[in-house]
Chains A and B, each alone.
Chain A
Amino acid sequence: MGSANTRPAYRDAHGKIDMDTLLVLALLLASVWTVSTARLLRSVIGLGLTSAVLAAALFRLEAPLAGVFELSVCAALVSVIFVMTVAVTQRLTKDDLSARQRQMLKRSWPIPLLVAVVAVVIFRHRTPANPFFATGISTDVRSMLWNERQLDLVGEMLVLLAGAFATVMLFKEAKK
């Protein structure tokens, strides 16, 4: 993962730009875009993108379980929560909404094309040595969580219960 002293730090053994440099650059670009973009919805999309890039960085840092959690929970669940909040707090009339939908449909036609191109590229570069799918995961984290950090699990359960309780209380207040 590290680079030799004879070549620039951002280039790998083949002279190409290093994957880690690309990841950190993408992480910084995504985070700067997230905090600087004018629209809230774009900001939320940027947050999801930052989480996805961070998940890839966690895989590079040999923390696959943390990467999976980051991708599934932060990039997906938290983004959905933010999208819901933005949707409720941004009041739009029906005309505004339909105009925006038409605009989005016009703009998003290249997305399926892009997805297809990326899928073809990925599957063309698949080799037995680099199958793109994890073949196994160390039991190290599981034993660490279940045998040595039980107090963390108790704390997590308490935090989850507190969150559920707080959410119930909030909706109760809203009904009143």
Chain B
Amino acid sequence: MTGILSSSFFWLYAFGALALVAIGAFAMLVAMNLVRLLIAIEMLIKGVTLFLALAGLASGNRGLAQSAIVTLIVIEVVLMIVANGLVLGLFRQRGTISTQLLNEVKE
């Protein structure tokens, strides 16, 4: 494990994963559109996926990392299907997909 932790290969991908999480978090904060918000969440999940693969490689437990990634992908897909369905439902009711709309949903 110490071998891979000292290689530039590991830190290169760790930087990539961290950047993906940062880009996703930033996009979530500035999103004014529900579809963009979901895309930002996808970016965040992709960063986490990369982190999981990297952790599996570093610890030598690739089977566990891959099974965790497969589970994550299944949950991600179901989340996206349901969230897109909700966006469509909101669009049919209100005629817009702006995030400002979320303030009015509870009323």
**Chain B residues with CB under 8 A of A28:** 16, 19-20, 23
Taking CB atoms, residues of chain B closer than 8 Å to A32 are: 23
Which A40-66 residues have C-beta < 8 A from chain B? 40, 43-44, 47, 50-51, 54, 57-58, 61-63, 65-66
Given A62-B57, A141-B66 in contact, is the A78-B80 Cβ separation under 8 Å? Answer: yes
Interface-facing stretch out of A19-27, A100-108, A111-119, A120-128: A19-27
Give every chain B residue within 8 A of A89 (Cβ-Cβ): 35, 87-88, 91, 97
A85-B35 contact given A57-B50, A70-B49, CB 8 Å threshold: yes
B46 engages A51 (CB within 8 Å): yes
Interface residues on chain A, size class: 35 or more
B81 adjacent to A163 (CB under 8 Å): yes
- Name the CB-closest residue of A to B4: A2
B66 and A74 form a contact (CB under 8 A): no
User: Could you say which of B35, B49, B86, B89 contacts A54, with CB atoms under 8 Å apart?
Assistant: B49
Residue of B nearest to A152 (CB): B71
B27 and A35 contact, CB distance less than 8 A: yes
With beta carbons under 8 angstroms apart, the residue of A9, A51, A78, A170 that contacts B89 is: A170
Check A66/B66 contact, CB under 8 A, given A24-B15, A50-B46, A160-B74. yes
A92: interface (CB < 8 Å): no
The contact sample of 30 A-B pairs, CB cut-off 8 A, is A1-B9, A2-B9, A3-B7, A20-B13, A23-B16, A28-B19, A35-B26, A43-B35, A43-B36, A50-B43, A54-B50, A61-B56, A66-B73, A73-B73, A77-B77, A78-B80, A84-B84, A86-B35, A89-B35, A140-B62, A140-B63, A141-B63, A144-B67, A145-B70, A152-B67, A156-B71, A159-B74, A163-B81, A163-B82, A166-B82
Given contacts A66-B73, A149-B67, 8 further A-B contacts (CB under 8 A): A9-B12, A31-B23, A70-B69, A78-B77, A85-B35, A144-B63, A144-B64, A149-B64
